[in-house]
Amino acid sequence: MAVASAFGAISRGTESLVAAGAVPESEWERMRAPFQEGAFPFPVKYGYATVGRIVAGDAARNGEWVFCLHPHQDRFVVPGEAAVPVPQNVPASRAVLAANMETALNVVWDAGIMPGDKVAVIGAGVVGLLVAYLAGAIPGTQTTIVDVNAGRADVAERLGIGFATPGGAPAECDVVVHASASEAGLASAIEAAGFEARIVEASWYGESAPTVPLGGAFHSRRLSLVASQVGSVPASRAGRWSNRRRLETALRLLADPRLDALFSGETAFVDLAARYVAILQDPATLCHRVRYD
């Protein structure tokens, strides 16, 4: 199936680690993107968020808008099953969030968030904001996203979720999701958890070895610290859910126009090589969109 790209997205957290050569050798195979070219460490052709139109390979699908877990590239060929249809009510320009939404959906499943829960999400990056967006839609939840950047309050407000800086983070939460990839953020997550609460670690640290504050009241509060990783559907759903079903669901969840608040910039593909490092290094970057003219 030949696809002509229209939009792509940079996943700043993961792509920063890849570009810095910070993928541990033990993870070189597990961290391969589906259509990656080359091998770690950097340079490799990496990425997993491209939306385009089918232009050849199956006449019945010509012109169809599809999402592909493909690196940044203007035209490419993939098997038909790897070209996932974009729902008609989801703009192609927003559909590039599908991989991030799929990750957030998996986090919410791993977190086991229930109606009425008090939820804190530490780290207002794209995945953290999407987790809070999904959690906030569960009836009765009190969901707050926490970040050191007070400017993220505007994005949280547009998504309809509460915001706090670390000094005002909620306490006694039923579920806490950590998505800041920082030691301070993980400490804040543990501090926000209530008795026998679940803390879900959604960050990936690459070669870093963060200090985990397991002293103090960690044991007396009987806290649970669990990992979430999008490579696998949680065991409680694996019997019914495939990765394909999860990705199709993530695409449907992108129909909300409020999610356009997650885009912090756009660069033409022809200019991407010159701007790529600066985009990765800019802490203000949320989802940076790539435009294929």
Residue 197: give its domain's CATH number. 3.40.50.720
Question: Given a cut of 90, is residue 134 above it in pLDDT?
Answer: yes
Which pLDDT score, from 0 to 100, does residue 162 have?
A: 97
> Which CATH number do you get for residue 58?
3.90.180.10
Question: Given a cut of 90, is residue 159 above it in pLDDT?
Answer: yes
Domain that holds residue 7: 2-98+253-291
pLDDT tens per residue, range 4-55: 999 999 988 888 888 888 888 888 988 888 888 888 888 889 999 999 999 9
* Same domain assignment for residues 209 and 124: yes
* Paired tokens of 34: 């589906």
Asked if the structure places residue 235 within a domain, the reply is no
Residues 6+ apart with CB under 8 A from 10: 47, 49, 72, 276, 279, 280, 285, 287, 288, 289, 290
What average pLDDT does the segment 83-105 reach? 97
pLDDT tens per residue, range 187-205: 999 999 999 999 999 998 8
Distance CA 217, CA 236 (A): 30
Which pLDDT score, from 0 to 100, does residue 260 have?
A: 98
Which pLDDT score, from 0 to 100, does residue 31 have?
A: 82
**Which of 11, 103, 106 lies closest to 50, judged by CA?**
11
Which pLDDT score, from 0 to 100, does residue 14 have?
A: 84
* Paired tokens of 112: 């086991």
What average pLDDT does the segment 122-135 reach? 97
Asked if the structure places residue 237 within a domain, the reply is no
Question: Given a cut of 90, is residue 115 above it in pLDDT?
Answer: yes
**Which of 173, 97, 98, 89 lies closest to 135, judged by CA?**
173
**Least confidently predicted of 73-77, 161-165, 200-204:** 200-204
pLDDT tens per residue, range 227-255: 998 888 999 999 999 999 999 999 999 99
**187-191-192 Cα angle (round to 5):** 120
Tell me if 176 sits within 8 A of 118, measured CB to CB.
Answer: no
Residues 6+ apart with CB under 8 A from 271: none
**Are β-strands 287-291 and 50-56 bridged in parallel, bridged antiparallel, or unpaired?**
unpaired
Could you list the beta-strand ranges (E) of the chain: 2-10, 50-56, 65-68, 75-77, 84-85, 118-122, 142-146, 162-164, 173-178, 193-201, 224-227, 263-268, 287-291
Asked if the structure places residue 244 within a domain, the reply is no
More confident residue, 177 or 229: 177
Asked if the structure places residue 242 within a domain, the reply is no
Which pLDDT score, from 0 to 100, does residue 255 have?
A: 98
How does residue 184 score in pLDDT terms, banded at 50, 70 and 90? Answer: very high
Q: Which residues are paired to 163 by β-bridges?
A: 145
* Same domain assignment for residues 122 and 92: no
What average pLDDT does the segment 211-225 reach? 91
Asked if the structure places residue 258 within a domain, the reply is yes
Tally of domains in the chain: 2
Question: Given a cut of 90, is residue 138 above it in pLDDT?
Answer: yes
Which pLDDT score, from 0 to 100, does residue 41 have?
A: 85
